[in-house]
């Protein structure tokens, strides 16, 4: 699709704008209030009248997150009312209301292939759902505080979660088990993004720090500092060479991540070289005990 933009609001509403219709006259029905009368002229400026949006109502609390399905025909929203709602952008209607807990749901994300989605909530868990089932398929528990954000890996086999406990965890969708814990942030993690090739992950925290992680090794490639407040959102470019970040300091920054990943590759080559040299100098008995130690540990 590429032409739809969704926004959630504190008044429990959800609006979807069709950017392809900007500049066209807005239907007067979209400017009507609940009582059926048109809004006052001073409340709606000329720029707003030229935008076409659809109003979705159904939540009973502030809407914290919204995500489109890959084809744009469905929209998911999460709210402080403890629910996740599935909307049809074609029918302009609420299809399903999911409720798996009695706590606010901070984030929801469709999987890259659609049909499945993941949620993050105040009850310290992340959940994996299917569109056709009312209850979650998996519940990921392990964080020590709120799970504030969730992000799918490109292969759909893993999800990453950021938490107020200052950690990021990588979970196996099939088993629901935590496969890796990323430690390094000094404040709550509130945003995540996966690189298009699935090798790197970026996480942003409340202090304004962004960390680039290598998923295979669990190492921090490089901290990206420059924001002076919360990093609310992160997104990689299609090629994965640039990272965009939006912050509460009223700025949007573009980061060149190729230099960081290049430094990591050089470092990995040096490590492999050192490892090879060490294997030549070590005796066979030392190698065996080293393998046994790793297996037992």
Q: Residues of 180-197 as b/e, b for ≥16 C-beta within 10 angstroms? A: bebebbeebbbbbbbbee
Q: Are 153 and 124 in contact (CB under 8 A)?
A: no
Q: Which of 200, 217, 204 is nearest to 267 (CA)?
A: 217
Q: What is the pLDDT of residue 118?
A: 97
Record the pTM.
0.77
Residue 142, C-beta contacts closer than 8 angstroms, at least 6 positions apart: 169, 178
Q: Which of 15, 122, 145 is nearest to 75 (CA)?
A: 15
Q: Are 142 and 158 in contact (CB under 8 A)?
A: no
The per-residue pLDDT of the chain, averaged, comes to: 81
Distances (CA, A) of 265 to 16, 87, 142, 225, 243: 42, 43, 31, 21, 19
Burial of 31 (0-12, 13-18, 19+ CB in 10 A): middle
What tens digit of pLDDT does each residue of 132-158 get? Answer: 999 999 999 999 999 999 999 999 999
Interatomic CA distance for residues 68 and 88, integer angstroms: 10
Residue 22, C-beta contacts closer than 8 angstroms, at least 6 positions apart: 50, 51, 52
Q: Count other Cβ atoms within 10 Å, centred on residue 265.
A: 11
What tens digit of pLDDT does each residue of 191-208 get? Answer: 999 999 999 999 999 999
Interatomic CA distance for residues 100 and 147, integer angstroms: 15
Q: What is the pLDDT of residue 244?
A: 95
Task: Give percent of the chain above pLDDT 70.
Answer: 76
CATH architecture of 58-268: 7 Propeller (2.130)
Interatomic CA distance for residues 224 and 200, integer angstroms: 14
Inform me whether the pLDDT recorded for 31 exceeds 50.
no
Q: Which residue has the tokens 């690189």?
A: 195
DSSP helix/strand/coil, 254: strand
Q: Are 189 and 209 in contact (CB under 8 A)?
A: no
User: Average pLDDT, stretch 207-230?
Assistant: 92
């Amino acid at each position: 699709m590429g032409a739809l933009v969704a926004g959630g609001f504190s008044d429990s509403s959800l609006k979807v704008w069709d950017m392809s219709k900007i500049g066209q006259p807005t239907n007067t029905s979209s400017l009507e209030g609940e009582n059926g009368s048109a809004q006052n002229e001073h409340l709606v400026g000329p720029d707003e009248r030229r935008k076409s949006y659809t109003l979705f109502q159904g939540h009973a609390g502030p809407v914290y997150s919204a995500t489109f399905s890959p084809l744009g025909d469905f929209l998911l929203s999460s709210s402080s009312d403890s629910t996740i709602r599935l909307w049809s952008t074609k029918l302009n209607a609420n299809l399903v209301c999911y409720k798996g807990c009695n706590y606010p749901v901070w984030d929801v994300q469709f999987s890259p292939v659609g049909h499945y989605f993941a949620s993050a909530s105040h009850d310290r868990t992340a959940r994996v759902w299917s569109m056709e089932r009312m209850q979650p398929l998996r519940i990921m528990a392990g964080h020590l505080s709120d799970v504030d954000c969730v992000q799918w890996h490109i292969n759909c086999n893993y999800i990453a979660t950021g938490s107020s406990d200052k950690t990021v965890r990588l979970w196996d969708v099939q088993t629901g088990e935590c496969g890796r814990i990323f430690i390094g942030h000094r404040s709550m993690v509130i945003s995540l993004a996966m690189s298009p090739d699935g090798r790197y992950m970026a996480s942003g925290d409340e202090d304004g720090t962004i960390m680039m992680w290598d998923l295979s090794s669990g190492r921090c490639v490089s901290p990206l500092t420059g924001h002076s407040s919360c990093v609310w959102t992160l997104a990689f470019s299609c090629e994965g060479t640039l990272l965009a970040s939006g912050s509460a300091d009223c700025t949007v920054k573009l980061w060149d991540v190729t230099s960081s990943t290049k430094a990591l590759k050089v470092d990995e080559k040096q490590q492999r070289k050192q490892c090879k040299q060490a294997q030549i100098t070590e005796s066979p008995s030392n190698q065996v005990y080293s393998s046994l130690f790793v297996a037992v540990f």
